[in-house]
Structure formats: structure tokens, C-alpha cells
Amino acid sequence: MGVKMNKKITIIALIGIALDQIIKFLLSNNLRITIIPDFFYITSATNTGGAWGIFGNHTYWLVAISIVFMGLLIYYIKGETNKTKLEETAYGMLIAGVIGNMIDRIFLGLVRDYLDFYILNYDFPIFNLADSLIVIAVFILIIEEVRGAHNEYNSKRRK
């Protein structure tokens, strides 16, 4: 059973990485496409840092941190025996996001971004699919952890 779960995580990760890199390649020209005026644009941008540009121009550190994180994550996933289908999906998404941005950092020295939102007159930092996969995966894993703790608490109360 553990092998099938790892296959699912691997397939999701590979699909996410491929989509991320294809979209980044297709949108690599300088462009600005209005999707929803004053709210959502496709904009070519680059980022030499992490989220919100933190650690800008520290590509080697960000790659090193990503490699260490991936090693720890894979070690944790392999040790996790009772993964839900949602957790498997989230792990695949998380791996895809980290590797998608790491590929950019290793080969380009920066990350290509393109999703540009203006929220309540705030120009939110431009991001990409890999960033979205990371955030959504972490959100799912938090919900699953809270849900699991809640279920465990309820089952103990019933005894």
C-alpha cells in the first residue's frame, strides 16, 4: 500500500513541475495581459528572492534551503504510514512547487512569476503556479492535521 501512495505523490509532483515549467516558458516574454481590469493580470516578472522578495540575490542559500527541505519532506513522507488521499495530493503539490521554483533558481538564478493581483488597491506581489501549489498544499496539510487531531480527540472522548 505504501508504494502506491508514493506513486500517487510522485505523479502529482511530476505533473505540477511540468505545468509550472511549461507555463513559465510560455509566459517568459515581457507581457501584460488584462484578465480582470483593476484586479487580475498576467505579467512577466522575475524574482531573485523568496516570497515577497525576501532574501533577494541569495539564490544559493535559497537552493540549499530547498534541497534540505526536500530531503526532510521526503524522509517524513516515507515514514508517514496513514496518509489520507488529500494529504498525498498536498505532498505532491508541495514537492512540485518547491522543485518548480528550485529549477528556475538553479538554471536561471531567479524565479519567473506571472500572476498579478490588485486586492483592495494593494498590488499583491506577483507569483506563479509553483508558489500557489506550495501555499495550497500547506493549507490542506494544516486542515488535515487539525481535522485528524479533532477526530482523535472525539474518539478518545467517546471511550
pLDDT single digits (tens) 145-158: 998 765 655 566 56
Is the pLDDT at 94 greater than 50? The verdict is yes
Kindly report, residue by residue over 42-81, the tens digit of the pLDDT.
999 998 877 766 766 668 899 999 999 999 999 999 988 8
Is the pLDDT at 159 greater than 70? The verdict is no
User: To the nearest whole percent, how much of the chain has pLDDT over 70?
Assistant: 86
Look up 113 and say whether it is catalytic: yes
For residues 105 and 130, give the distance between their C-alpha atoms in angstroms, rounded to a whole number. Answer: 12
Q: Cβ(42)–Cβ(30) under 8 Å?
A: no
Q: Cβ(111)–Cβ(47) under 8 Å?
A: yes
More confident: 138 or 56: 138
Q: Which of 20, 113, 116, 123 is catalytic?
A: 113
For residue 124, the 8-state DSSP code is P
- Residues 97-123, mean pLDDT to the nearest whole number: 94
Instruction: Write down the pLDDT at residue 3.
Output: 46
- Residues 1-7, mean pLDDT to the nearest whole number: 58
Instruction: Write down the pLDDT at residue 1.
Output: 42
Instruction: Write down the pLDDT at residue 155.
Output: 60
Residue given cell 472525539 in the structure block: 154
Instruction: Write down the pLDDT at residue 156.
Output: 60
For residue 58, the 8-state DSSP code is -
DSSP string, 72-131: HHHHHHHH--S--HHHHHHHHHHHHHHHHHHHHHHHHSSEEEEEEEEETTEEPPPB-HHH
pTM of this structure = 0.86
Is the pLDDT at 126 greater than 80? The verdict is yes
Instruction: Write down the pLDDT at residue 131.
Output: 96
| 3-state percent helix, strand, coil for the chain, nearest multiple of 5 | 65, 15, 20
